[in-house]
Amino acid sequence: MFRKSILIGILIAALLGAGCATTPPYNPFKIGQEEFNRKTKTIALAPVFIPEGLEDPEPVKIKFESLIESRLREAGFLVIPSREYAEIWKRTTEQVGGYFDPVSGKRDETKFKTVQEYTYRELSTKFNMDSLLYSSILVFQVKWSGGTVHWHGTSEPIKSVGEQFLEGLVGISYHGTVPAASLVATIRDINGQDLYVNFGGIQLLAKTSGSKFFQVPRHQLFSNEEQNSKAVSLALEPLITKPGSTEKTK
Residue 114 lies in a domain: no
DSSP code per residue over the chain: -EEEGGG--PPP---TT---TTSPPP--BSS-HHHHHHH-SEEEEPPPB--TT-SS-HHHHHHHHHHHHHHHHHTT-EEE-HHHHHHHHHHHHHHTT-SB-TTT--B-HHHHHHHHHHHHHHHHHHH---EEEEEEEEEEEEEEETTEEEETTEEEESS-HHHHHHHHHHT--EEEEEEEEEEEEEEEETTS-EEEEEEEEEEESEEEETTEEEEPPGGGTT--HHHHHHHHHHHHHHHHBPTT--SBP-
For residues 215-243, average pLDDT: 92
Residue 88 lies in a domain: no
Are the C-beta atoms of residues 181 and 138 closer than 8 Å to each other?
yes
Residue pLDDT, tens place only, 30-75? 999 999 999 999 999 999 999 888 888 999 999 999 999 999 999 9
Select the more confidently predicted residue: 216 or 9.
216
Residue 103 lies in a domain: no
CATH code, 52: 3.30.160
Using 50, 70 and 90 to split pLDDT, how confident is the model at 22?
low
Nearest partner of 200 among 232, 158, 177, judged by Cα: 232
Residue 97 lies in a domain: no
Residue pLDDT, tens place only, 83-97? 999 999 999 999 999
Residue 120 lies in a domain: no
pTM of the model: 0.83
- Mean pLDDT across the chain: 85
Q: Measured between alpha carbons, how far is 93 from 85 in angstroms, rounded to an integer?
A: 12
Nearest partner of 43 among 17, 67, 68, 62, judged by Cα: 68
Q: What is the extent of the structural domain holding 165?
A: 2-7+28-80+130-238
Residue 192 lies in a domain: yes
Are the C-beta atoms of residues 50 and 57 closer than 8 Å to each other?
yes
Domain count, the chain: 1
